[in-house]
A and B are shown apart, each in its own frame.
Chain A
Amino acid sequence: MRKPNRLEMLRRALETVRDETEPPNHLVAAAMALHGQDTLAERFFLLAAASERNDQSLLCVSQSGLWTLEIFVNKSPEGQSTDRGQVLLSVHPDHRATYEGRRARIFVHEAEGERVLAEAVVRDGELFADISLAGLDLHRRDAVNVVFSTGTTA
């Protein structure tokens, strides 16, 4: 990143002090408009969290830091990895109430569009579901997305 010179530092500091009393109107309007939007989204990059290739399980934290995602890969009787597995999503205890009863849709983006891996309701801050891992490359290519919505608490 380019280092600012003294004049740029002065301008930035002047701007900061001038602007800190009130946020811009468009930001406040955007914050107000949040009400009524019923979905929350999280994104996981396994690539960023996985330190090495591991065939048995994957673990990573969402970009917001609130959610932990674990994927366990099923093994065949011969000890080979299969294309089935389980996903466990768990939220930070401080944020459990926010997500309780929300329906979570776990998906990845593919060339043909969204591929839903699992859909289930968050209970006690957790979600556990079976998923198909066929054709996925969670280590290097596919980021896992989760969208939480209300209204379906069955």
Chain B
Amino acid sequence: MGDVTDNATDALNTLICDTAEAWAQFVHLAKRPVWQASLAVAPRRARAEELFGHVMARLYADRLALPARFAASGLSDALSFLAREITVHTDHWLLQLFRTGAEDAADAFARALYADIKMWVQRASTPAARATLDDLVQDVFANLLADKGRRILAFAGVGSFRAFLRKVALNLAADSARREFGRVRADTAAGVTNRRPRLVSLNDEQRLLDPVDPGADPEREIIEIEETVARTQREAALADMLRQLPDGERKILEARFLDGRKPREIAALTGRDVKDVYRVLERTIARLKQALT
């Protein structure tokens, strides 16, 4: 483990030499984390390849500055520093998707940021709101991604995108919690909280403060966003389950569903009994179905 860390630090620090060898060594270090991040964020394989190229190009552009940034980061682990850099470049790529109106921008955004946004909202929520955390997070996503990511595109490009996003997400979560529970007020005498009932304006004119595209169908958009977020979560859970399967069982699934082989062929390939292959397929598919519902 120590050797891996030392090698990573060496690969990062020798970038300052700006030789082809130094860059090749760095590519060997970075290729796997960049690829894993690309597959985790991109909705399709082609997009993952595009993202990999984008991140590598940005790392190359920054190569001479990386050693100094690593030294200034306060991190002792070069791989942690690299992960942080990859996140920054992935975020830029996401912004680019929104700016160019890519139809899978919301999908990629949910894949990249669901866990972080959920964590931010959870930490900032009152205990009462935590009971409905998933709804709250869904609400935040629906608002963030509404109007083709208008709130995300408001990022001015200066400072940290994650810090900006955290602020926006927490504001949206607070608004959502207020709508749900009313404003929370501490009752100093009893040491408990009172809730002011939610007030809803019946005057449509007041909504002009935040105008939306008249041609848009906000209800449909919200449903689509919620479905996208839910689907990305199911896919992430499914991938996690597949990673936890024993190698042999996963290979059987790959042979069946990626290569299109019949159970008899799989049995011949893997040296297992045909009944065993059927049993593995039935058992794992039943478990995966549960994850997909």
Interface residues of A (CB under 8 A from B): 1, 3-4, 6-7, 9-24, 27-28, 30-32, 34-36, 40, 45, 48-49, 61-68, 92, 94-98
Q: Which of B23, B40, B92 touches A65 (beta carbons < 8 Å)?
A: B92
Closest residue of chain A to B242 (Cβ to Cβ) is A17
Contact with A along B226-262 (1 / 0, CB 8 A): 0100010011001100110000001001100110000
Task: Establish whether residues A11 and B257, one from each chain, have CB atoms under 8 Å apart when the complex forms.
Answer: yes
Report if B184 contacts A (CB, 8 A). Answer: no
A94: B residues at CB distance < 8 A: 69, 88
Task: Establish whether residues A19 and B258, one from each chain, have CB atoms under 8 Å apart when the complex forms.
Answer: no
Q: Is the interface of B mostly helix, strand, loop or mixed?
A: helix
Instruction: Give the shortest distance, in Å, between B272 (CB) and chain A (any CB).
Output: 19
Q: A27-B52, A94-B69, A94-B88 are in contact. List 13 more A-B contacts (CB 8 A).
A: A3-B227, A11-B258, A13-B239, A23-B31, A28-B31, A31-B53, A34-B56, A35-B24, A45-B100, A65-B96, A65-B157, A68-B158, A96-B65
Interface residues of B (CB under 8 A from A): 20, 23-24, 27, 31-32, 34-36, 38-40, 45, 49, 52-53, 56-58, 60-62, 64-65, 68-69, 88, 91-92, 95-96, 99-100, 103-104, 107, 155-158, 161, 227, 231, 234-235, 238-239, 242-243, 250, 253-254, 257-258, 288-289, 292
* Known pairs A34-B23, A40-B61; A23 contacts B258 (CB<8 A): no
Instruction: Give the shortest distance, in Å, between A115 (CB) and chain B (any CB).
Output: 23
B34: A residues at CB distance < 8 A: 23
Instruction: Give the shortest distance, in Å, between A84 (CB) and chain B (any CB).
Output: 26
Closest residue of chain B to A6 (Cβ to Cβ) is B292
Task: Establish whether residues A16 and B39, one from each chain, have CB atoms under 8 Å apart when the complex forms.
Answer: yes
* Known pairs A6-B292, A36-B20; A30 contacts B65 (CB<8 A): no
B60: A residues at CB distance < 8 A: 31, 34-35
Task: Establish whether residues B239 and A16, one from each chain, have CB atoms under 8 Å apart when the complex forms.
Answer: yes
Closest residue of chain A to B89 (Cβ to Cβ) is A64
Task: Establish whether residues A65 and B161, one from each chain, have CB atoms under 8 Å apart when the complex forms.
Answer: yes
Task: Establish whether residues A15 and B45, one from each chain, have CB atoms under 8 Å apart when the complex forms.
Answer: yes
B57: A residues at CB distance < 8 A: 34
B257: A residues at CB distance < 8 A: 7, 10-11, 14
B62: A residues at CB distance < 8 A: 95, 98
Q: How many Å lie between the Cα of A14 and that of B91 in the bound state?
A: 25
23 A-B pairs in the complex with CB atoms less than 8 angstroms apart: A1-B104, A3-B231, A4-B231, A7-B257, A12-B235, A13-B238, A14-B250, A19-B39, A23-B31, A23-B35, A34-B23, A45-B100, A48-B99, A48-B100, A49-B99, A61-B156, A65-B91, A65-B157, A66-B157, A92-B157, A95-B62, A98-B64, A98-B65
Q: How many Å lie between the Cα of A48 and that of B157 in the bound state?
A: 14
Task: Establish whether residues A32 and B24, one from each chain, have CB atoms under 8 Å apart when the complex forms.
Answer: yes
Task: Establish whether residues B92 and A14, one from each chain, have CB atoms under 8 Å apart when the complex forms.
Answer: no
Q: Which of A40, A68, A95 touches B65 (beta carbons < 8 Å)?
A: A95
B156: A residues at CB distance < 8 A: 61, 68
Most central of A14, A65, A67, A92 by chain B CB within 10 Å: A65
Task: Establish whether residues A32 and B27, one from each chain, have CB atoms under 8 Å apart when the complex forms.
Answer: yes
Q: How many Å lie between the Cα of A36 and that of B234 in the bound state?
A: 43
Q: Which of B58, B231, B243, B253 touches A64 (beta carbons < 8 Å)?
A: B58
A45: B residues at CB distance < 8 A: 99-100
Q: How many Å lie between the Cα of A30 and that of B234 in the bound state?
A: 33
Task: Establish whether residues A22 and B32, one from each chain, have CB atoms under 8 Å apart when the complex forms.
Answer: yes
6 smallest CB-CB distances across A and B, nearest first, come from A23-B35, A97-B65, A61-B157, A65-B92, A31-B56, A35-B23
Q: How many Å lie between the Cα of A32 and that of B59 in the bound state?
A: 12
Q: How many Å lie between the Cα of A13 and that of B24 in the bound state?
A: 30
* Known pairs A18-B258, A92-B158; A63 contacts B96 (CB<8 A): yes
Task: Establish whether residues B235 and A17, one from each chain, have CB atoms under 8 Å apart when the complex forms.
Answer: no
Instruction: Give the shortest distance, in Å, between B115 (CB) and chain A (any CB).
Output: 16
B69: A residues at CB distance < 8 A: 94
Closest residue of chain A to B60 (Cβ to Cβ) is A34
Q: How many Å lie between the Cα of A22 and that of B38 in the bound state?
A: 12
Task: Establish whether residues B95 and A65, one from each chain, have CB atoms under 8 Å apart when the complex forms.
Answer: yes
A36: B residues at CB distance < 8 A: 20
